[in-house]
Amino acid sequence: MDRIIKPSAAPVRTRGGIMDFSVPRVMGIINVTPDSFYASSRTVDAAAVSARVAGMVAAGVDILDVGGYSTRPAGYSTRPGAPDVSADEEYARLARGLEAIRRDYPDIPVSVDTFRAGVARRCVEDWNADIINDIGGGTLDPEMWDTVADLGVAYVLMHIKGTPQTMHSHTDYDDVAADVLSDLARKAAELHARGVADVILDPGFGFAKTVEQNYRLLSALPLFRRLGMPVLAGLSHKTMIWKPLGITPAESTVPTVALDAMALQLGADVLRVHEVEPAVQTVKLFRLLRDNSV
C-alpha cells in the first residue's frame, strides 16, 4: 500500500532530548489572545491557559504551541482583521501563558508562535521555549534567522507572501506547489548554512493561498517530504475547510479531523490543532493502517 507515506523525516532536538517522527506528533494550539479567529481557542488569563493545557496533556499532546498575536486577516468571516499589537504586548501575553505552562509542566516541549526575533529570544531565554514557530519564515523580521541560530533551538519555517494584513492579495503563483516547495527548500538551505540544524517545514495553509491552492498544496505534501525535514500541517478550522462547506469555524471540528487524516496519509509529521484528543486518536488509527499496510 505505497500510497501511505512511510516515516523518513530527520529528528529535531528539544531541551528534553531528541524528538523523532517515527510516530506523527500532535501540536496543541494555546492562543493567549482575545481575538484569535477560532473563539474557542482563546485563553486570555493564566487560569484559562492552565485548564486548556491540562486537558491537552491528558489527551496526549506532544508539543504546546503558544501564540500571542492573532493573524486573522480582514474579511475573515464577518469580523474585521485582528489589530496589530506591539512586541511588548505580544511578549506579555506569551509570558502569561508560558509561566502557567512551565509552572505545571516544566519539561513538555513548547513552541512559541511569533515572527519577531526579539520576542522569540525573550521566550527562549526566560521560559526555555524549545521551538520558534515563525509564520513569516524569516520575511517579517530580518533578525529572526540569526537569532534562532544563536539560540540553538528548532525552527518552524512557514511559507507566506506579504504580511498577515496583506497576504490575501498575494495569491499569484505559476504553480503553487512548485513555488512553495522551491521557496522552502531555498530558505531551509540558508538556515542550515547559518547553523540552524533543526528545521520543520510548514507549507503555510491559509497564508496567501486560495481555497483551491490550499488543496493543491495538500496533495503535494509527499514532495515536501523529499527534503528530509519534518512537515507540519496546520489545517485546523481554517477557511479551506469551512468556506467550501458553507459552515462556520466553530462547526468545522469534524471536517478538520477528516482533513488531518488525509494529511497524515500524504506524509504530515506534525498536526497543529485546536482539539488535541481527536487528533491523537486520528494518529493512533493512522498508525494501525500504516503499520499493517501491504
**Per-residue pLDDT tens digits for 103-138:** 999 999 999 999 999 999 999 999 999 999 999 999
What type of residue sits at position 216? Answer: R
Q: How far is CA 212 from the centre of its chain?
A: 20
Q: Which of 13, 102, 272, 284 is catalytic?
A: 272
Q: Is residue 3 part of a domain?
A: no
Confidence of residue 75 (pLDDT cuts 50, 70, 90): very low
Q: Is residue 142 part of a domain?
A: yes
Categorize the per-residue pLDDT at 36 as very low, low, confident or very high, splitting at 50, 70 and 90. low
Is 272 an active-site residue? yes
**66 belongs to a structural domain:** yes
The verdict on residue 1 lying in a domain is no
4 located within any domain? no
Question: Average pLDDT for residues 72-86, to the nearest whole number?
Answer: 55
Model confidence at 283, pLDDT cuts 50, 70, 90, reads: very high
pLDDT surpasses 90 at 141:
yes
pLDDT of residue 242: 96
Looking at residue 54, its pLDDT comes to 96
179 vs 82: CA distance, rounded Å: 28
Contacts of 119 (CB under 8 A, 6+ apart): 68, 87, 90, 91, 94, 112
Do the domain assignments include residue 43? yes
**What pLDDT sits at residue 85?**
83
Write the pLDDT tens digit of every residue in 163-216: 888 898 899 999 999 999 999 999 999 999 999 999 999 999 999 999 999 999
Q: Does 265 reside within a domain?
A: yes
pLDDT digits (tens, 9 = 90+) for 88-101: 999 999 999 999 99
Q: What is the CATH number of the domain that holds 24?
A: 3.20.20.20
Collapse the DSSP code of 49 into the 3-class scheme (helix H, G, I; strand E, B; otherwise coil) and give the result: helix
What is the pLDDT, as a whole number, of residue 79? 45
At 222-265, the pLDDT tens digits run 999 999 999 999 999 999 999 999 999 999 999 999 999 999 99
Residues 6+ apart with CB under 8 A from 266: 5, 218, 219, 221, 222
Looking at residue 231, what DSSP letter applies? B
Strand partners of residue 201:
157, 231
Find the range with the poorest average confidence among 7-21, 72-86, 129-143, 204-218.
Answer: 72-86
Which range of residues forms the domain containing residue 44?
Answer: 12-291
Average pLDDT, the chain: 91
Domains of the chain: total: 1
- Asked if residue 2 belongs to a domain, the reply is no
Which residue in the list 238, 243, 284, 287 is annotated as catalytic? Answer: 238
- Rounded Cα–Cα distance for residues 216 and 214 (Å): 5
Q: Is 238 a catalytic residue?
A: yes
